[in-house]
Chain A
Amino acid sequence: EMQVVESGGGLVQPGGSLRLSCTASGFTFSSYWLHWVRQAPGKGLVWVARMNSDGSSISYVDSVKGRFTISRDNAKNTLFLQMNSLRVEDTAVYYCAREAYSTSHWYFDLWGRGTLVTVSS
C-alpha cells in the first residue's frame, strides 16, 4: 500500500524550531516531487513548500521564505521540513503530499494524515 506518514509535530514557543518528517512507503520515492501543505485550525489548505525528485529545485510560499527549509533523503524515503523562527501564525496541521503526473497534468494524489504544529507561549 502506498502511503506517506508525517511526524515531528508538537508544541513550541514563538521563535523556536521544529523538524517535521514525512516517511514514504509502497512507491518509488525518488521519482516524485513532494510538497508540504498546511491547514490552520478551522481554515483552508495552504501550500507551503515543494522539492523536486532529486532535490535540485525548491520553492516556498513567501510567508515562510528564510525560515523554513525543505529537504529529502531519497535513500531513506523521507522528506523533511525544518521550521525555524516559528510564529503563532504557523500553527497548523502540516500535510505531506505527493505530486503525480498524467497526460500533461500534475496533481497531489497521495496525502498523509498530517502532523499538528502548535506555536504558543
Chain B
Amino acid sequence: EITMTQSPATLSVSPGERATLSCRASQSVSTNLAWYQQRPGQAPRLLIYGASTRATGIPARFSGSGSGTEFTLTISSLQSEDFAVYYCQQYNNWPPWAFGQGTKVEIK
C-alpha cells in the first residue's frame, strides 16, 4: 500500500509571492498523481493530473512537476482565492486511492 506524505503541513505566504508544495510517495507512482484544492467549507477541486497537466479551467499560475516518488505543486503568484488546503493523490496502485495529509496555504 502506497503512503503519500506532504510537506510542509502549513505554508505562510504573502499575496503575490510564490508557493511551493511537496508530495512524496512511499514507492514509485510514475506520473500517476493528481493535486486537489479545497477551500474552507467547499468540496475538493481537481487542479492537476498526470503530475503536470492542468485540469480544465485551472489558471496557468498553477503548475505541477515530478515523477516517481517526488512531486511539486507551484503557485507562481498567490491570489486571495488560492489560500486553501492542497492534497496530492496517487492513482498508480489501487486500491486504495491514497491522499496526502494536505498542506494548508495561509496568508502571511
- Given contact pairs A108-B44, A111-B43, A111-B44, A47 touches B49 in the complex (Cβ within 8 A): no
Size of the B side of the interface (Cβ < 8 Å), in residues, is 26
Q: Is B22 interfacial (CB 8 A cutoff)?
A: no
Other-chain residue from B36, B55, B95, B100 in contact with A47 (beta carbon distance below 8 A): B95
Contact with B along A96-108 (1 / 0, CB 8 A): 0100001111111
Say yes or no: A105 contacts B95, CB within 8 Å: no
Q: Is A25 interfacial (CB 8 A cutoff)?
A: no
- Given contact pairs A45-B44, A60-B95, A105 touches B55 in the complex (Cβ within 8 A): no
- Given contact pairs A44-B101, A111-B44, A112-B43, A106 touches B91 in the complex (Cβ within 8 A): yes
Say yes or no: B91 contacts A111, CB within 8 Å: no
Residue of B nearest to A103 (CB): B50
Q: Is B18 interfacial (CB 8 A cutoff)?
A: no
Say yes or no: A107 contacts B44, CB within 8 Å: no
- Chain B residues, Cβ within 8 Å of A111: 43-45
Contact with A along B77-108 (1 / 0, CB 8 A): 00000000001010100111111111000000
Name A's interface SS: strand
| B56 CB to nearest A CB, Å | 8
- Chain B residues, Cβ within 8 Å of A113: 42-43
Say yes or no: B43 contacts A108, CB within 8 Å: no
Say yes or no: A59 contacts B91, CB within 8 Å: no
Q: Is A35 interfacial (CB 8 A cutoff)?
A: yes
Interfacial residues, chain B to chain A (CB-CB below 8 A): 31-32, 34, 36, 38, 42-46, 49-50, 53, 55, 87, 89, 91, 94-102
Show 14 A/B contacts (Cβ-Cβ < 8 Å), sorted by A: A45-B102, A47-B95, A47-B98, A47-B99, A59-B95, A59-B96, A95-B43, A102-B50, A102-B53, A104-B50, A108-B34, A108-B36, A111-B45, A112-B43
Interfacial residues, chain A to chain B (CB-CB below 8 A): 35, 37, 44-47, 50, 59-61, 95, 97, 102-109, 111-114
